[in-house]
């Protein structure tokens, strides 16, 4: 089983557009949307949910006011300032500050502090006309430490094994933080979608360093390359110097925007130079993966 991860150093470069197109072009695959903070692959795949599972975030401390003796040891040991004294002399935990370290639990003489599980979101297994999709949704304000990403990937792997699929296509999160690392480890190929701007090249450089740290092959595609041909050439020269390859260039094409607005993968409906470039890109990527 091979795993293809589509990343970008920032949001809005066209990562999901490429992932949705690959979903329509590839066969024998399972799809996973690991951009759990702002998942949008489902918008162009129209999934029907088959399973819904709760996701529990890292627990945070909670004080039972009935048991609290007001001794204040929790406030003394909390280095984050999470335990706060109330007017009646008892204490409460500020949920926005608590890091769930359990120190207050261990020192409370009255046993008033606990760390209950918190529902932070849900993850889903869905069917689409292009195959199975594993995706997730965090509750507003919840942090994504990478734990939910790892759960989505685990479920996608188990589903691919169950269905006998030989490929997992992962729409990854932006940036280079914990969610990206959770998406990256153990994949066979990273396709970095960048754009011909100074910021695009800078973010590509960060992704390349990260993928090298994990010894994972990274290839580059430049989206909307013709809006700044000089910058696109600069990115290609940079890639050559760093020993990687610009495997494709996607021109600006209003047809891609129209397909996305219609809730369709970019290679369906109206065909144009953008869609043709993505079809060519998939041929190169699938050949490199051997699928």
The pTM of this model reads 0.88
For residue 217, what are its two tokens?
Answer: 């092959």
The residues with which 246 forms a beta bridge, in sequence order, are 220
Q: Please state, in angstroms and rounded to a whole number, the distance separating the CA atoms of residues 125 and 132.
A: 7
Residue 61 CB: number of other CB atoms within 10 A? Answer: 25
Domain spans in the chain, listed from the N-terminal domain onward: 2-57+120-289, 62-116
> In the CATH hierarchy, which fold is given to the domain comprising 2-57+120-289?
Rossmann fold (3.40.50)
For residue 241, is pLDDT > 70?
A: yes
62-116 CATH, one of 3.90.800.10, 3.30.70.20, 3.30.70.270, 3.40.50.300: 3.30.70.20
β-strand pairing of 118-128 with 48-57:
antiparallel
Residues found in the chain: 291
Tell how far CA 146 is from the center of its chain.
8
Percent of the residues in the chain that have a pLDDT greater than 70, as a whole number: 99
Inter-residue contact 245 to 256 (CB < 8 Å): no
For residue 90, give the 3-state DSSP assignment: coil
Provide mean pLDDT across the span 192-214.
94
Per-residue confidence at 196, pLDDT binned at 50, 70, 90? very high
Residue 184 CB: number of other CB atoms within 10 A? Answer: 23
Task: Tell me the per-residue pLDDT of 28-83, one tens digit each, with 9 for 90 and over.
Answer: 999 999 999 888 999 999 999 999 999 988 889 999 999 999 999 999 999 999 99
Residue 87 CB: number of other CB atoms within 10 A? Answer: 5
Task: Tell me the per-residue pLDDT of 139-186, one tens digit each, with 9 for 90 and over.
Answer: 887 776 789 999 999 999 999 999 999 999 999 999 899 999 999 999
């Amino acid at each position: 089983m091979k795993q293809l991860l589509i990343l970008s150093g920032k949001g809005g470069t066209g990562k999901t557009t490429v992932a949705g197109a690959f979903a329509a072009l590839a066969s024998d695959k399972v799809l996973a949307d690991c951009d759990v903070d702002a998942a949008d692959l489902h918008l162009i795949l129209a999934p029907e949910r088959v399973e819904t599972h709760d996701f529990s975030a890292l627990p945070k401390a909670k004080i039972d006011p009935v048991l609290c003796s007001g001794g204040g040891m929790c406030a003394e040991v909390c280095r984050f300032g999470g335990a706060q004294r109330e007017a009646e002399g008892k204490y409460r935990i500020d949920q926005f500050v608590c890091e769930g370290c359990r120190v207050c639990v261990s020192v409370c003489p009255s046993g008033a502090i606990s760390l209950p599980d918190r529902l932070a979101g849900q993850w889903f297994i869905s069917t689409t006309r292009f195959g199975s999709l594993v995706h997730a949704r965090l509750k507003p304000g919840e942090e994504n430490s990478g734990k939910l990403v790892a759960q989505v990937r685990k479920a996608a792997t188990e589903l691919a094994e169950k269905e006998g699929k030989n490929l997992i296509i992962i729409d990854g999160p932006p940036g280079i933080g914990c969610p990206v690392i959770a998406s990256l480890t153990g994949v066979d190929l990273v396709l970095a979608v960048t754009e011909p701007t100074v910021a695009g090249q800078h973010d590509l450089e960060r992704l390349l360093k990260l993928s090298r740290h994990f010894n994972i092959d990274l290839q580059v595609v430049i989206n909307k390359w013709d809006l700044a041909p000089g910058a696109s050439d600069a990115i290609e020269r940079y890639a050559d110097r760093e020993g990687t390859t610009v495997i494709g260039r996607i021109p600006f094409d209003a047809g891609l925007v129209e397909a996305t607005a219609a809730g369709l993968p970019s290679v369906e409906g109206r065909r144009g130079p953008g869609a043709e470039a993505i079809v060519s890109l998939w041929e190169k990527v699938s050949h490199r993966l051997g699928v």
